[in-house]
Structure 1
Amino acid sequence: MKAGDRLSTFRFPYKISLILLLGLTILAAPLPSLQNVQAHAQDGLYIQPDSFVIAQAAPAPEEAVRFAEQLIGKLSASKPFTAWKDARPEFQPLGPGMHAWLVTLTQDGKPIGYLILGAKPSGGYALIEYGAGSEPLFDTVALQRALAAESSASAHSASLPSHSSALQVEQLYAGPTLAEWRIVDKAGQAAGLQAQAARGESLPLQYRDARNADPLPDNESIWRRLLASPPELSSAIVASGSPAAIPDPPTITADSFDPNDNLIWLASDQLELTASSLTQELRQHKALIFAARSEDRNYTLPLPVYGYQTWEQGDDTAAIEHVYVMTGSAASPRFIAFNELAKAGQFYNSTGQ
């Protein structure tokens, strides 16, 4: 997602320009266990749909299950979550350390939403982000389609294994601004990865955006640094073990949009926002753009911001308001805890003013 001295772009060979990334926050879930995906090809790569298994459902802690059930019940009272009333939740650990849980809601076998719950260091769980619609955060269909399309276009692509091979695919989640697929060519490993790495040659390894499967210029050293820090979730977030939080219906201030359609925002100054001033800014300017920043990464894909949802926690004498930023598409909006997003970068006015 994507200024003079603030951001500089470089061309990414598969899709749109990516932008210089100056900051990124981390949930720091350790690498999840690898999931084998058998890939077979005669003239390139073909992923068998019935063998494309990315993550297995797993028993979640009782507190996480209860918290998820509470959240689903409260969110399903208003659009766009009303279909959640009859949904079936499936829990998948994001990382062997169980620092986060992906809760996928399905209806008739199809995804209709998700939650991501992060484990708090002090105990309990927090709602990092959630989304509605048919586009899951980790979209296996998009990944399968992208790999098949690229291999059919070039059977000997430098970024894809050719001929019959075995792939290993895993989910990486380092906070709401960074969810990726990590894909390893096991046949290439068997051919001598260690010697290849010693010579400084590129390895048969690639990273892709979890939602749209766009290739990303990441590497192992970047992810080792990203996953090395312990999780530090904000206290300004809906959490278990606290007085029940009640969500207001989402406030939509503009139509969803693609930040790449108009790059005038690149020339604007960053906005210094708090959760409350974000809602005021959206009511005034209707739409904003968020750009993640990090010294570890040299790109970003900007997020459109076109609304928010507030949660009220506590009683009338000591009520706390938690703000979740609305992004994503109109069909599948995402809602991300303001503090978890804000510490990962900056907001910009979408009109450049």
Structure 2
Amino acid sequence: MKKRLRPNRRNIRHCLSIFMSMIICFTLLSIWPTTHAAAPTNRLAPASVEQFAQQQVNALGTSNSDWLVAKLEYYPLGPGNHGWFVHASIQDKPIGYMIMIISINPQGQLLLSEYGQGEQSLYHNELLGQALERQGLDIKTLQTAGGKLTRGYAPPLLAYWKVERVNHPALYIDASNGDLLPADRLEYVETGSEMKSFDLKELQQQIAIPDTAMLQTSPVIIQPAFDPSFQLTWLTSEPLQPSQIKQQLQQNYREALVFSAEEWNLFYGGPLPVSAYQLWSIAGSESDLYVGLGGFNSTQRFIPLNKLLNDGHFYKINP
């Protein structure tokens, strides 16, 4: 009797092993479309881009050591955006992001267009899933039907998802808050003269890397949180002069400021509260100031002050 039981036990164990393997395979297949949609594309980031990103990480690490041990993942922004989204995480927990754009000049110099710190990030899969659900879609069904998801970036500050569906108009979703964007405006931007495709192999040899070995950052100075839509007195105030803004931020940091890009507000998602600032400096030179926008009900995003002054105005909320 015992001799007949042994083969049966082996058969049972063998069947159980096959059954468990099938369950694991089906589980992996069921989550593959979502994982694939978010997969990083490090192999598409030129060495010069990674070198520049590491310089920025080292600078941010002088004020926040998390950056120095973070894992970086690179996602091209395209087509025709001349840039990369760099996601930073520690053990799969987001700690920040960077967007690096190649300037349109003969040298093709890389610029840190914006960055963010903390667990909120752009192009978050959960935010995308919620936005698609509001449109009666999901990532798995979209890809199964031959759809396509692309990360896009429209200067000066509009990060978005382009959702392409077979036999349907494309959808554009704000990558900072999940709002649906006007398709006609984004289609116009994508077909504009500045949105030209680029040869990645050619750029690997042409991208200029600025010398920022001694670059460092100050601690982030947090401003009071508020929602500009509930603090409307700024609409009746005069815009601050450029010479006043840096002083206002650094000396009167408890006074609430609003940034408005006027006709460019669609591309900023604004008007936005000024929620923080951080100084960047190289030994022996003057400091550059990055201004934190948003953060009350959206991702906090740090933008160079000079860029903001070129695109809009700062307003003080009158008491």
Which residue of structure 2 lines up, in the alignment, with residue 293 of structure 1?
262
Deviation at 1:240, TM superposition (A): 2.2
Question: How many residue pairs are counted as aligned between the two chains?
Answer: 267
- Deviation digits for residues 146-193 of structure 1 (CA, Å, limit 9, x no counterpart): 2214429xxxxxxxx99x8443222221234211122222143xxxxx
- Deviation digits for residues 182-239 of structure 1 (CA, Å, limit 9, x no counterpart): 2222143xxxxxxxxxxxxxxx222221111111224154323656278xxxxxxxx7
Are the counterparts in 2 of residues 292 and 344 from structure 1 also a CA contact under 8 Å? yes
Measured on the aligned residues, the alpha-carbon RMSD in Å equals 3.3
Gaps of 5+ in 2: 1-31, 197-208
Which residue of structure 1 lines up, in the alignment, with residue 291 of structure 2?
325
Aligned runs of 1:128-147 on 2, under 5 Å? 128-147=113-132
Which residue of structure 2 lines up, in the alignment, with residue 212 of structure 1?
177
Which residue of structure 1 lines up, in the alignment, with residue 70 of structure 2?
87
SS at match of 1:343: helix
Deviation at 1:55, TM superposition (A): 5.9
| TM-score of the aligned structures, taking structure 1 as reference length | 0.65
SS at match of 1:212: coil
Deviation at 1:48, TM superposition (A): 6.0
Aligned runs of 1:165-176 on 2, under 5 Å? 165-176=145-156
| Cα separation, partners in 2 of 1:145 and 1:114, compared to 1, 3 Å | same
Which residue of structure 2 lines up, in the alignment, with residue 193 of structure 1?
none
**1: CA distance between counterparts of 2:237 and 2:188?**
29
Which residue of structure 2 lines up, in the alignment, with residue 264 of structure 1?
233
| Cα separation, partners in 2 of 1:298 and 1:211, compared to 1, 3 Å | closer
Aligned amino acid, residue 300 of structure 2: P
Q: Does 1:186 align with 2:166?
A: yes
Deviation at 1:313, TM superposition (A): 2.1
One of 83, 89, 93 as aligned partner of 1:106:
89
Are the counterparts in 2 of residues 174 and 227 from structure 1 also a CA contact under 8 Å? no
Aligned amino acid, residue 247 of structure 2: Q
Are the counterparts in 2 of residues 117 and 129 from structure 1 also a CA contact under 8 Å? yes
Identity of matched residues, %: 31
Gaps of 5+ in 1: 1-46, 153-160, 189-203, 231-238
111-120 or 94-103: which moved more? 94-103
Which residue of structure 2 lines up, in the alignment, with residue 65 of structure 1?
50
One of 335, 339, 342 as aligned partner of 2:302:
335
Are the counterparts in 2 of residues 173 and 180 from structure 1 also a CA contact under 8 Å? yes
Q: Which structure has more RCO (C-alpha within 8 Å, separation ≥ 6)?
A: 1
Aligned amino acid, residue 295 of structure 2: S
Which structure has the bigger radius of gyration?
2
Aligned amino acid, residue 38 of structure 2: V
**1: CA distance between counterparts of 2:70 and 2:258?**
32
- Deviation digits for residues 23-65 of structure 1 (CA, Å, limit 9, x no counterpart): xxxxxxxxxxxxxxxxxxxxxxxx9634543763334232322
One of 246, 252, 257 as aligned partner of 2:216:
246
Which residue of structure 2 lines up, in the alignment, with residue 345 of structure 1?
312
Q: Does 1:116 align with 2:82?
A: no
| Cα separation, partners in 2 of 1:243 and 1:85, compared to 1, 3 Å | closer
| Cα separation, partners in 2 of 1:64 and 1:134, compared to 1, 3 Å | same
SS at match of 1:72: helix
115-124 or 220-229: which moved more? 220-229
| Cα separation, partners in 2 of 1:185 and 1:340, compared to 1, 3 Å | same
Q: Does 1:125 align with 2:110?
A: yes
